[in-house]
Amino acid sequence: MTKLGIRFGNVAAIKSPGTSGLTTLIRQEGILVEGTGLFHQWKSGAGDTYFLLGDISGVRQADGMLSPPSLVKVETERLENPNRIPEVEGRFVLVKVSQNGICEVWTDQFGRIDVYWQSVDKAIVLGTGLDLLPVSQNGSLPDGVGVAHSLIAFGCRPAKRHTLYKNVHRLGVNQGIRLSGGHYELLHRKFKPASTFPLYGQQDLNRYADLFLEAIRARASADGNVVYLSSGWDSTSILASLVHLFGKRKVRAIIGRMQYSDRSGVINQFEMDRARAVADYFGVRLDVVEWDYRTNAESVLFKLRDLFRSQQFGNLQANHYLIAESTAKTADGNEVVFAGEMSDGAHNLGFSQFASVFHPASQEFREYSDKMASYLFGPTFLGQLHTGMHEQDPVWQFFRQRSANAKFDATAKGEQAITQQFLSSFFLRGGRMPLYSIDNTRLLTAAGRENYVNESERVYLNDVSEHVNRNNLYAYYLHLYNSFHWQGATVSTLEHTVEAHGLRCVLPFNDSALIDFLSAMPESWGRGLDLNPTKYPLKWMLRNRIVYPFHLQSGTQSYKYDVDPNFTLFGEILHASSFKPIFQAVLQEGHFVEWLDSSVFDRSYINGLVSRYVKGEELRGQEMNDLGVLAMHSAIGIYGQK
């Protein structure tokens, strides 16, 4: 497990919690570096000492291939230059300690490992978890922007450079930190966006396939490979690729059977049946873990609470914890866990789950509706916004009619302002439509909404909007995803829960070469109103480069909501699972809600939701979603609460 703790300045005055299991890496006047998961340590020609902690997948070569991780130990100059850090593929943190007492910290190019820091008592404390900082003992006032994002944006975690706590900070993507003379300075590495011009051709489909198979090969283990299997394209493509590369004996799969309540029974039977058929087709073992929350919520919450609180995960991804626990119990040697997350966002901006428009008789229409939703955030529609022609767009009219009760903002004045408004709609709203107004958010007061948008745009979007154009729009989306959804609790919990159980989790769709490819992939490759399918290059690879059972990808996909649009997973957890009495109790106690600043959060609205829920009312729609995030944050808890 990779953990890092640094105390800088008045080291003797700071006793960081959570460091008892860490190994001292270096100690000198005014600096103490401790950690676990050390991959390599070396001294540069200038006499600086470097510590590389984490997992390395390889070193990117000119032909796109990844060399063995051991090459990092030979070619250390790549890491000594912050601008060359992206040449090293992995999930890691790098520490440099100079002879003159200056310390620098960088992470991998996507910031896969978080680095938090806090200034206190003439010292600066850094850690890869909040449990390594003084805030975990003393608590803090809430950071209004960080908490707001965790409550209203999909992912239930503050955006990358924010935390839940005032005056507690987190390194952003392409950021480093230099500690010197009792002070800190933030360092920056420039992002270079790819362009969709010139357009891809037929040969690029083969290039995608080569990159994807290389992403799998470089991360696989000779001891064996475990796939978190669902019924969708992403995990099954990983399974098929592993069998293609290594044979079925080095591959197994695991899936969860979801039973959230007595009234709904097994809610992913469609997924279970298809996953079983796919596993049988390839002849690989499929283990089943029970995600049964009819009776055991208290024990599940007890297991995951400390980890989730230390990483400010506000979403109860208990499924991720339990599947990691089960995988570890059955692990054979140094197996690697593969997960298919990030594919939806990387290929289709998250619109690729047959969920944009429900149709009981046509999966094809549901897929095309996903493409229509993706189109609205694409370069063609951005151009229509710039010219003021968007109101005549039939796709826009269709989705506006379906959202008749929602509030939409008027377009801003000037192309850059419109572009920033476009990005803000995508990353800082829950509605997933351009121009969707922050005024739809009832959890925040008017002042809270204004401050959240202004501060978030200042930190994440102002500089970006100056450089975005129709050719690099997708590149900036995928870059910004690392500060928003991809570091959120629905994705980042995968790596953390697996690591907590002594294994390694890899997400091949987050391979940097694959991300570069998808950053330049044109709208016509399944992202717009063309006739190519969603995830077009992935499906082309499955049909043309490896063996894949296309005949099994027909019919109902996964959950009960695929046949009943009124069914929600959230509703079952809140209203019918064994989590319900826990949620009612923690909400009634009110520690988390009382911690919220009433000038930022609409306590009247929140208290009304809580009161109705505690009395037994079954909430639906946006009220259910708002109550749900409050309940989960309350159950996980915050540092310093009673």
Block means of pLDDT (10 residues each) for the chain, 642 residues, are: 94 69 95 98 97 98 92 96 98 97 98 97 95 96 98 95 99 98 95 96 97 98 96 97 98 97 93 97 98 96 97 94 97 94 96 71 83 97 98 98 96 97 97 96 98 98 97 99 97 98 98 98 97 97 98 76 79 96 98 98 99 98 97 97 72
155/93 same-domain check: yes
- Does the residue 194 lie in any domain? no
Which pLDDT score, from 0 to 100, does residue 15 have?
67
101/214 same-domain check: no
**Domain boundary, last residue among 166, 188, 210:** 188
269/176 same-domain check: no
474/500 same-domain check: no
CB 506 within 8 A of CB 174: no
CB 103 within 8 A of CB 25: no
CATH number at residue 328: 3.40.50.620
Which pLDDT score, from 0 to 100, does residue 317 have?
87
Which pLDDT score, from 0 to 100, does residue 184 have?
96
Which pLDDT score, from 0 to 100, does residue 422 have?
98
**Domain boundary, last residue among 541, 561, 581:** 561
Which pLDDT score, from 0 to 100, does residue 354 have?
58
- Does the residue 359 lie in any domain? no
Per-residue H/E/C for 475-488: HHHHHHHCCCHHHC
**Domain boundary, last residue among 502, 531, 561:** 561
CB 291 within 8 A of CB 259: yes
- Does the residue 642 lie in any domain? no
The model's pLDDT over 360-412, given as tens digits with 9 standing for 90+, comes to: 767 788 889 999 999 999 999 999 999 999 999 999 999 999 999 999 999 99
Gap between the Cα atoms of 169 and 558, Å rounded: 39
- Does the residue 308 lie in any domain? yes
Cβ-in-10-Å burial (0-12, 13-18, 19+) of 642 comes to exposed
* Structural domain containing residue 626: 569-636
Residues 623-638: b if buried by 16+ CB within 10 A, e if exposed: bbbbbbbbbbbbbbbb
Structure tokens at 437: 């107004």
The model's pLDDT over 483-497, given as tens digits with 9 standing for 90+, comes to: 999 999 999 999 999
- Does the residue 313 lie in any domain? yes
DSSP state of 235: H
519/409 same-domain check: no
476/581 same-domain check: no
311/298 same-domain check: yes
Structure tokens at 457: 């745009």
178/208 same-domain check: no
- Does the residue 154 lie in any domain? yes
Query: Any bridge partners for residue 254, and if so which?
Result: 228, 287
Q: What angle do CA 28, 32, 37 make, to 5 degrees?
A: 125
Which pLDDT score, from 0 to 100, does residue 351 have?
85
- Selection from 341, 376, 337, 366 nearest residue 491 by Cα: 341
Which pLDDT score, from 0 to 100, does residue 557 have?
62
The model's pLDDT over 90-137, given as tens digits with 9 standing for 90+, comes to: 999 999 999 999 999 999 999 999 999 999 988 999 999 999 999 999
- Per the structure, the count of domains in the chain is 4
14/135 same-domain check: yes
581/549 same-domain check: no
126/245 same-domain check: no
Gap between the Cα atoms of 221 and 238, Å rounded: 14
69/166 same-domain check: yes
- Does the residue 367 lie in any domain? no
- Does the residue 368 lie in any domain? no
Phi/psi at 410 (5° precision)? -70, 155
Which pLDDT score, from 0 to 100, does residue 366 have?
85
Which pLDDT score, from 0 to 100, does residue 323 have?
98
